[in-house]
Amino acid sequence: MELKEAKEKFIQAWGTLGSNWGINRTMAQVHALLMVSPDPLSAEDIQDELNISGGNANMNLRALIDWGLISKVHKPGERKEFYAAEKDIWKVFKQVAKERRKREIEPIFRVLEDVSKISGNPKEKNNKAFLETVKGIHNFASKTDKTLETLINADENWFMSSFIKLMK
Amino acid sequence: MELKEAKEKFIQAWGTLGSNWGINRTMAQVHALLMVSPDPLSAEDIQDELNISGGNANMNLRALIDWGLISKVHKPGERKEFYAAEKDIWKVFKQVAKERRKREIEPIFRVLEDVSKISGNPKEKNNKAFLETVKGIHNFASKTDKTLETLINADENWFMSSFIKLMK
DNA sequence: AATAATTTTCAGAAATTACTGAAAGTTCAG
DNA sequence: CTGAACTTTCAGTAATTTCTGAAAATTATT
């Protein structure tokens, strides 16, 4: 297989993976393209490679910067901005975990705490079922949150080696 | 806050969470509704609670069964089928991990292995950047896969207590 | 300061995804 | 068997999400 074809397949697969996980397909494709490029690319390069409009490229590049997955690179003597992706997949994973934690766990906590404050007898069947489910999720979310926090601060080797030991 | 209002808020929040993670909003809402109901509900109950059509309710119920998150309950003397959700959130989490592993990790593995077979000198800059990224992801995916496998077979208490120890 | 290159924004269009409603299919009690 | 209760399917429609293209804003160059 030629490099070009392999790149296309990889970009396609990464896009599908992203969209299964609630990330817009094009954003994931831009990310994939930058991950396999040896050098930073300009917005124009990306437009041409992926056949997307300038507006679309720009919006997804900003979103990727916002997620902390790529950064602008200024090339001396060049007018254009270039973009480069973090290629260490462990760092990518940690960054995504960090952002999703901020964007999703925190809001769900607020809702869980809020809906726990229901009136009426907590022993009554309907109230009880509700409160137990909510409490269970709250408890689980707390543990997950702590785990994620540790994960985000962990170094890969430490984490993986400890984890593998644990799994034995 | 009244139970009814709290349920609605919870169902809404669960739906949003689902759609952020690539799960259709209504499917997540049906799941939420069943998680907070003390007794199994019929398709009709669900239609009425969520204001959705029979077809929609049916399709999402089947999808939830397919994901292993709810099950049919036959009530003696009743013609209708009823549905009940697994309420232990740890089991829910494991089940989702199991399904996603099957549906997503396996396909991505195939692609990664496939695209590793590129022609040309692996030392050449473009080939090298590509192969290193792909190799890094493949390696990460292998570890993740092993971890998930363990997780799926783990019991919550064992897992959490070991994990908390690890984190210290 | 004028011009040219580049980036950003955003209204409307296109594409994708989800839903409805009605018809077809099943199941079961009488 | 028959018909009523219930479930499933799916073509067409609706809602949502994403993208385009062109205009506005910004930034650098002469």
Q: How far apart are CA B144 and CA B101, in angstroms?
A: 9
Name the β-bridge partners of A85: A70
Token pair for residue B135? Answer: 């190799």
Residues A76 and A96 in one domain: no
Predicted pLDDT of residue A163: 62
Q: Does A161 touch chain B (CB under 8 A)?
A: no
Contact A38 B136 (CB under 8 A): no
3-state secondary structure of B120: coil
**Containing domain of residue A52, as a range?**
3-85
∠ CA A120-A123-A124, rounded to 5°: 65
Q: Does B22 touch chain A (CB under 8 A)?
A: yes
Residues B30 and B10 in one domain: yes
Residues A94 and A159 in one domain: yes
Answer with the one of B85, B118, B135 that is the final residue of a domain. Answer: B85
Nucleotide nearest to A53 (CA to C1'): D20
Token pair for residue B85? Answer: 């959700």
CATH assignment at residue A39 = 1.10.10.10
How many Å from the CA of A80 to C1' of C3? 17
- Per-residue model confidence as pLDDT tens for chain A (168 residues): 999 999 999 999 999 999 999 999 999 999 999 999 999 999 999 999 999 999 999 999 999 999 999 999 999 999 999 999 999 999 999 999 999 999 989 999 999 999 999 999 999 999 999 999 999 999 999 999 998 998 898 876 666 666 666 655
> What are the phi and psi torsion angles at A167 (to 5°)?
-75, -15
Predicted pLDDT of residue A57: 98
B87, B119, B160 member nearest A133 (Cβ): B87
Q: How far apart are CA B35 and CA A133, in angstroms?
A: 7
Scan residues 54-113 of A and list those with Cβ closer than 8 Å to B.
87-90, 93, 103-104, 107-108, 111-112
Residues A81 and A96 in one domain: no
* Domain tally, chain A: 2
Residues A73 and A46 in one domain: yes
Residues B19 and B76 in one domain: yes
ipTM of this complex prediction, to 2 decimal places: 0.91
Answer with the one of B38, B53, B85 that is the final residue of a domain. Answer: B85
Answer with the one of A59, A85, A111 that is the final residue of a domain. Answer: A85
Residues A107 and A155 in one domain: yes
pLDDT 10s digits, B104-141: 899 999 999 999 999 999 999 999 999 999 999 999 99
Q: Give the chain A residue whose CA is nearest to the CA of B19.
A: A22
Q: Could you tell me the pLDDT band of residue B155, with boundaries at 50, 70 and 90?
A: confident
The answer, yes or no, to whether residue B168 has pLDDT greater than 60, is no
In sequence order, the 6+-apart residues with CB closer than 8 A to the CB of B85 are B31, B34, B35, B37, B64, B69, B70
Name the β-bridge partners of B41: B83
Q: Does A114 touch chain B (CB under 8 A)?
A: yes
Q: How far apart are CA A133 and CA B10, in angstroms?
A: 10
Per the prediction, chain B carries an average pLDDT of 93
pLDDT 10s digits, B36-76: 999 999 999 999 999 999 999 999 999 999 999 999 999 99
